[in-house]
Structure 1
Amino acid sequence: MAPPRRPTAYLVLPSLVLALTACSADPGPGRPADPRPTSGAGPTVLATGLDVPWGLVLLEDGTALVGERDTATVWRVPPGQDPSPLVTVPGVRAGGEGGLLGLAVPPGGGGDTLLAYLTTAEDNRVVRLDLRAGAEGGEPVVTELVTGIPRAGNHNGGRIEFGPDGYLYISTGDASDGALAQDPGSLAGKILRVDAGDGSPAPDNPAPASPVYSMGHRNVQGLAWDGQDRLWASEFGQDALDELNLIEAGGNYGWPEVEGPGGAPEFVDPVLTWATSEASPSGLAHGGDGALYLAALRGESLWRVPLGADGEVGDPERLLAGEYGRLRSVVAGPDGLWVLTNNTFRGAPAEDDDRMLHLSLP
């Protein structure tokens, strides 16, 4: 699949600082026609013209890798340079909420090896791509790591992240069948933890022969570790409450028996909840200021959640409310946050959507 268009990059200006003050709870009626900042009081637009961007990875040299869900193209965006296509991931069957979803690179990796969560004609799966062959004019070498994750038009999960323990964590959706989330034998509605070398279950998982790390999830699309190496996850609710969860090994988070806090001893309650109109959370990152940042789609905001050393959370602050539309992904780097908008799917695209933004932290 050839990419239909080439995104445009803008020069990175790391001196621009986002004022981390709470925005109004009510998003404005529209977004500015030209979102590029005219002063040092807002985020910097790094790239425009992206087509349904989803996965986002930041390399150690500041280069960003951005995956487009429907075209299956991964763009390489070096600081201050035009984006260039890195690879088109083979086997992707886009449709509904499925396609090329999360991306990850091994810790310390320079981008020669890329992991991807993708929807195929049969399932959702995680693969490893050796891009060195592709750089020499050939197709990338693809190794299947985890296959057989149920797929559907909705609720495909899709975030993949390396944890501080070196294992790969994978968030899956319930594939629109809530009962699968409570089935320990299904890979749907789970957070999985595997060896990234061969996809085998991590040996100290709750059930050593199973990749399942936690269960009872509806549709987790954000994973992040805080400074104490605690795992947090953002999760779509159904009609009432979206969730921020602190993940425990072997924990059952209640879906579909519970949406939001249920109080039942067999289920783990969320730490925070939002009305679905205010969030619909996707990406999640732990910033250098010690807070969690949650990218909201329907809520068209970036939620900042203060986090204490004991795991207690403070009152969430709503940032960028209505300014850039739907926000899909957020990752933390050494000098701030990188954010992807997601208006070319279920949104009202501005002329230069979709965009990648940089927000400096004070």
Structure 2
Amino acid sequence: MDKKIQIIAVVGAIIFSVLVLTSPNDPIPLPKPISNSQNDFVTILAENLDKPRAIAISDNRIFVTEKDGFIRVIEDGNLLESPLAAFRPANVFDGGLLGITLHPNFSNNHYIYVFLTYEEDGNLWNKIMRITESENKLQDAEIIFDKIPGSSFTNGGFIKFGPDRKLYVGTGTVSDASHLPQELDSLSGKILRLNDDGTIPTDNPFPDSPVYSLGHRNPQGMTWDDDGNMFVAEFGPEKNDEINIIQAGKNYGWPEQECSGNENYEDAILCYDPSIEPGGILFYSGDKIDFEFPFIMASMRSANLYQVDFEDGLSSQKSILSGIGRVRDVVEGNDGSLYVITSNTDGKGFPDRMDDKLLRIVK
């Protein structure tokens, strides 16, 4: 195998990766992550990250959450030794310090938002915290939304500000046997829409409710295209991972429907069987990298970063980056570069001695 990280644009890569996959309980051996620091296209900005989960970017800084409770800072291409903040989340397999996003006016108010799993009186919950930072130090932290039902395995946890400057939150189901995603008065298995202070917008689809859409299992990534359409990627149970276009007030079926087939629910626009474990997704709006398709998707189980044409589906899915193991999240920088974190230390991968990594794709 070439020691350099390869940029791949071969349709056969996705066909092969989908065909060889087995169930999430029996993961296939992944390619051994590459240890060189950079090549002409990809630069490794940080190494030895511990179970990283999500990325947020400002002008000259990158913020990365680590599952066990740390917010790490990469400033001007260097990983700072001291974390910005340290929390004590619940010690569960797929919970902890998960999503992170910056306020649209971050350069002035320095607000960072995170999604955190915690335990209270033997029960698991999730909360959203708003952090105020100054010079890479925590100045203040407040809970702005709380008591989202928690789980050891399906917390969702991705948070993003939309084009309308509202905070969108993906929450998971407490178990695959739970019907809470179908109950409007439960926060489980939902896409939530909040004001930046955690209050409920007056124009939400359900009066006095933070719920924007329901019937979700385990949302893992979200993005918006140039027309303002919202896309969400989520895990299925052992198959039927979904990409959905999210519309206000709509029901996406879980657990009554997986992907499609019931006229009472919205159909997924893409369905993966077997699972590829989609992570972060984004609609690429820059001009630095010449992609054939604008949607970029991280995939853990199939160990690739893909470009996807959601209209044409799998026939148009192509690999951009492989050979680094599980890929957890991808975001676009202000300069049009892509920033990616791997997920080889999450308990399901095969980490090398330098994992996990933050990488920058420049062309």
TM-score bracket for this pair, using the shorter chain length: 0.7 to 0.9
Following superposition, the deviation at residue 38 of structure 1 comes to 6.4
1:75 partnered with 2:69? no
State the match for 2:354 in structure 1: 352
Is there any run of 5+ residues in structure 2 with no aligned partner, and where? 18-27, 286-290
State the match for 1:342 in structure 2: 343
Structure-2 separation of matches of 1:249 and 1:33: 40
Please give the secondary structure, in 2, of the residue aligned with 1:315: helix
State the match for 2:126 in structure 1: 124
Supply the AA of the counterpart residue of 1:36.
N
State the match for 1:190 in structure 2: 190
Identity, % of aligned pairs?
A: 32
- After TM superposition, the structure 1 stretch with the greater mean CA deviation from structure 2, 267-276 or 211-220, is 267-276
Aligned counterparts, 1:163-202, within 5 A: 163-176=162-175, 177-197=177-197, 199-202=198-201
Do the aligned partners of residues 32 and 218 (structure 1) sit closer, same or farther apart at CA in structure 2, a change above 3 Å counting?
closer
Do the aligned partners of residues 23 and 46 (structure 1) sit closer, same or farther apart at CA in structure 2, a change above 3 Å counting?
farther
Please give the secondary structure, in 1, of the residue aligned with 2:356: coil
Following superposition, the deviation at residue 30 of structure 1 comes to 4.8
Contact 1:276 1:299 in 2 (8 A): no
Give the total of aligned pairs. Answer: 334
* 1:90 aligned to which of 63, 87, 100: 87
Supply the AA of the counterpart residue of 2:76.
P
Return the TM-score normalized by structure 1. 0.85
Structure with higher RCO (Cα < 8 A, 6+ apart):
2
State the match for 2:48 in structure 1: 49
- After TM superposition, the structure 1 stretch with the greater mean CA deviation from structure 2, 244-253 or 20-29, is 20-29
Contact 1:18 1:359 in 2 (8 A): no
Contact 1:66 1:75 in 2 (8 A): yes
Following superposition, the deviation at residue 357 of structure 1 comes to 1.2
Do the aligned partners of residues 196 and 89 (structure 1) sit closer, same or farther apart at CA in structure 2, a change above 3 Å counting?
farther
Supply the AA of the counterpart residue of 1:113.
Y
Supply the AA of the counterpart residue of 1:356.
L
Give the superposed CA RMSD.
2.4
Structure-2 separation of matches of 1:331 and 1:244: 17
Structure-1 separation of matches of 2:135 and 2:306: 40
Do the aligned partners of residues 39 and 98 (structure 1) sit closer, same or farther apart at CA in structure 2, a change above 3 Å counting?
closer
Return the TM-score normalized by structure 2. 0.85
Do the aligned partners of residues 17 and 164 (structure 1) sit closer, same or farther apart at CA in structure 2, a change above 3 Å counting?
farther
- After superposition, give the CA deviation of every residue in 1:109-136 in whole Å (9 maximum; x if it has no partner): 138321110011131010101224984x
Aligned counterparts, 1:149-298, within 5 A: 149-176=148-175, 177-197=177-197, 199-262=198-261, 264-277=262-275, 279-288=276-285, 289=291, 291-298=294-301
Do the aligned partners of residues 221 and 253 (structure 1) sit closer, same or farther apart at CA in structure 2, a change above 3 Å counting?
same
1:302 partnered with 2:305? yes
Following superposition, the deviation at residue 140 of structure 1 comes to 3.6
